[in-house]
Structure 1
């Protein structure tokens, strides 16, 4: 049976982000934007759950041998994500309709 997994790390990451987005959509969240680069860093998925804007960092590990995906989100990474989310939110408030993916 041929291996149908994407070969590059970037392609695998895109597939995993897509799967995460589909799963979250099935849970009732709506996609607002994905892979948004800001001065603070990149935001993988930005979703809306009711009135709440949800920033999703997608992490994947092929095994937990060197730690779980959650353990890879270091305090430094958390600060970058918070900064990126604040920048995104500031611009999103200025033109809310521009960010909505239909």
Structure 2
């Protein structure tokens, strides 16, 4: 299984995990000129933009460490375009990360609010 296929497997696991928590999947792998968002889900009046990371080992750092300043800015600007295009102006928004360590279907970490405006210069 190549890296992209493995990513898709864990994105599906994350979508299933969040669906069980009452979230509705709006789209997967949303691409713009700014970047890509793995999952966009909705719960009540909140749109949640989700980055999914999977690591087999922690040798090169945990999955959340790969979501750096540059990645966060790409996610933010991609989310802005999604909101505008789909007219979700009256919704709350949140940026989360779902982290998998190992090969299991259950995430080891769900980080809510991984992006704050002041940390990415907006």
TM-score by length of 1: 0.83
What SS does the corresponding residue of 2:60 show, helix, strand or coil? coil
Bigger strand fraction:
2
User: For residue 49 of structure 1, what is the aligned residue in structure 2?
Assistant: 43
Distance 2:11 2:25 in 1: 12
Q: In structure 2, what is the equivalent of residue 78 of structure 1?
A: 72
- Count of residue correspondences: 88
For the residue of structure 2 that corresponds to 1:25, the secondary structure is: helix
> 1:24-79: CA deviations, max 9, x gaps?
10011000111110121111100001100000001111111111111110101001
Cα offset for 1:17? 0.5
Q: Does 2:14 align with 1:13?
A: no
Runs of 4+ in structure 1 off by over 2 angstroms are none
Alignment root-mean-square deviation, CA: 1.1
Q: Unpaired segments of 5 or more residues in structure 1?
A: 1-6, 95-102
Q: Partner of 1:24 in structure 2? A: 18
Q: Who wins on radius of gyration, i.e. which is larger?
A: 1
Alpha-carbon deviation of 1:9?
A: 1.3
- Under a length normalisation based on structure 2, what TM-score does the superposition of the two structures give? 0.70
Give the alignment of 1:29-44 within 5 angstroms.
29-44=23-38
Number of the residue aligned with 1:97: none
